[in-house]
Amino acid sequence: LFLQEEKDGHFFTNCNSGPIRTPEEVTVIGFQSDGFLYTAPVKSFQPNEAGLYQMAGNVAEWTSDNYSTISDPYRVLLDELEDGKNPNPKFLNRIKSLVPAEPYRNHKIIKGGSWVDGPFYMQSGVVKVQNPNKATCTTGFRPALVIEKK
C-alpha cells in the first residue's frame, strides 16, 4: 500500500514505518535505487516498529498455500456450449483448448515484492504463483522462530 503524507505530498510504502520520505529511499526496484546490485545485506535499513528488518523488497516470499483459481473466464462459455446453446463443434473445441486443466494445481502462492519488482508487487496483498520446484534469485523464504517468554 502506498501512503501519501499530506504536508509535503511525498509517497511512501508502509513496508517500513521508519523515516521513509521519498520513493528513492524505499527498496522499490532496489537494484536501481538502494545502492546494492542485487539483494541488500541483512540490517541494511532501519527496522520497522516491530523491530523487523527488510520485510519487503529483498526477495518475494514463499507461502505454504496452494494456488487455486476461483473462476475461469472461459468456463462460462464452455458450460453454455456443452448445454447445446451453440452446436458449432469447431467453436466448442476452441473454447475447450482455452480452458486450462488445473495448470496451477501444484503451484504455491508467492507474496511481496523482490529487488527486481516494481511498486505494485511491494504490496503485501499482491499474490504471485510459482511452481515450488522452480528456483529463482527473486524468491525466498523468511524463517521465523517463536520465542516463548518465561
How far is CA 35 from its chain centroid? 23
Strand partners, 110: 62, 128
Res 21: pLDDT: 45
Average confidence (pLDDT) over 88-107: 65
User: Mind listing the pLDDT tens digit for each residue in 28-61?
Assistant: 444 556 677 766 788 887 887 777 777 666 788 8
Q: Is 140 helix (H, G, I), strand (E, B) or coil?
A: strand
The C-alpha cell that represents 117 in the structure block: 519488482
Q: Is 150 helix (H, G, I), strand (E, B) or coil?
A: coil
Which residue is listed with cell 521465523? Answer: 144
Domain ranges of the chain: 1-67+105-141, 69-103
- DSSP letter for each residue of 3-68: EE-TTT--EEETT--SS--SGGGS-SSHHHHSS-SSSPPTTSS---TTS----SSS-EEEEEEEP-
For 42-80, letters b (16+ CB in 10 Å) and e give eeebeebeeeeebbbbbbbbbeeeebeeeeeeeeebeee
> For 54-111, where are the E strands, in sequence order?
60-66, 108-111
Mean per-residue pLDDT over the chain, rounded: 68
132 versus 80: which is more confidently predicted? 132
Pick the CATH number of 1-67+105-141 from 3.40.190.10, 3.90.1580.10, 3.40.1710.10, 3.40.640.10: 3.90.1580.10
